[in-house]
Structure 1
Amino acid sequence: MAVKQRLSVYLDADMMARLEKLASKEHAAKSSIAEAAIISFLTADDADRWEAAVTRRLDRLTRSVDRVERDLEFSVEALALYIRAWLTATPPLPEGAQAAAQAKGRERYESFIDALGRRLAKGQKLAREISKEFQSGNAGEIS
């Protein structure tokens, strides 16, 4: 058995409280926890493995953010095209027809929200459907 040497370390109050809490929770001596932390810090292989793990995780997160950005760009572009078409094709209503049109609009909106809720609950994604239609050569066909 190797002879251990004494080391005096000064910790701020918060760090000491955290160390004491961990020692109590793990039923371990504070010195053994400190020793394990120092070994972990000084061991280059562990640091390299940790860095590689963090790098892999960051790469996955980057790819995920890229997909979200692409999907968001697709959604914004689709919404912008729809709004442009709607604004271009929808004539203004005469004053007497506004109340009926607003009531019909509310009814259609509620129907839209119900349909959207059902699709989201089923996990259906329009982008996935469009991608499949495009790949099968049915792009532009409304089903």
Structure 2
Amino acid sequence: MSQYRLNLFIPPDHARRLDELAVKKGVSKSSIVAAALASWLSPDAGDQREAAIARRLDRLTRQYERLERDQAILIETVALYVRYYLTVTTPVPEAHQDAVRAQGKARFTQFVEQLGRHLLRGHSLLRDLVEEIQPDTVRREADAAASVRQADGEAT
């Protein structure tokens, strides 16, 4: 099989990386450049890259939509809690301020410890709440994420 000789000028950084890759893989620099060129010139290479990018964009879109939904739920939850708290909390007389502060500090410490345990278990209270309200949505998201992971595994 005849070969065509080609002299190329590439940046020093590319040349260094090409040298390192050739040594690491135990192949010639020419074979690496030929494989890269074949991949670049392949008629379906662009389609493959475009499909991979589209899958990643779809996954990012779903993640963004979940974040947006979770943030909206969180904002509403905090707003409702603050409204409720401000509505039902009675002012504390000056004589009881120190006791109330101590009780608040103890409750906050307990809250932080409970939150830490919850996070260490890997559970999401927000996810649990959404699952209770919309179990089909959570199931569809999990199925979509699994199919994307499978497609990404096949593409590589």
TM-score, structure 1 as length reference: 0.83
CA distance in 2, matches of 1:117, 1:88: 29
Look up the match of 1:66. 65
Say if 1:23 and 1:33, in contact at 8 Å, map to a contact too. yes
CA RMSD of aligned residues (A): 2.0
DSSP-derived class of the 1:44 partner: coil
Compared with structure 1, are the counterparts of its residues 44 and 108 closer, same or farther at alpha carbon in structure 2 (3 Å cutoff)? Answer: same
Q: Deviations over 1:82-135 (max 9, x none)?
A: 012112222232222211111100110111112222223334433344345546
Say if 1:19 and 1:30, in contact at 8 Å, map to a contact too. yes
CA distance in 1, matches of 2:85, 2:4: 79
For the pair shown, the structure with the greater C-alpha radius of gyration is 1
2:106 corresponds to 1:107: yes
CA distance in 2, matches of 1:63, 1:129: 18
2:81 corresponds to 1:82: yes
TM-score, structure 2 as length reference: 0.77
CA drift at 1:32: 1.0
CA distance in 1, matches of 2:128, 2:34: 56
Say if 1:40 and 1:47, in contact at 8 Å, map to a contact too. no
Look up the match of 2:141. none
CA distance in 1, matches of 2:78, 2:128: 16
CA distance in 1, matches of 2:74, 2:134: 19
Gaps of 5+ in 2: 136-156
Look up the match of 1:21. 20
Identical-pair percentage: 44
Deviates more, 1:91-100 or 1:51-60: 91-100
CA distance in 2, matches of 1:34, 1:132: 51
Look up the match of 2:138. none
DSSP-derived class of the 1:10 partner: coil
DSSP-derived class of the 1:59 partner: helix
Look up the match of 2:151. none
2:11 corresponds to 1:35: no
Compared with structure 1, are the counterparts of its residues 46 and 84 closer, same or farther at alpha carbon in structure 2 (3 Å cutoff)? Answer: same
Gaps of 5+ in 1: 137-143
CA distance in 2, matches of 1:125, 1:57: 24
CA distance in 2, matches of 1:54, 1:132: 30
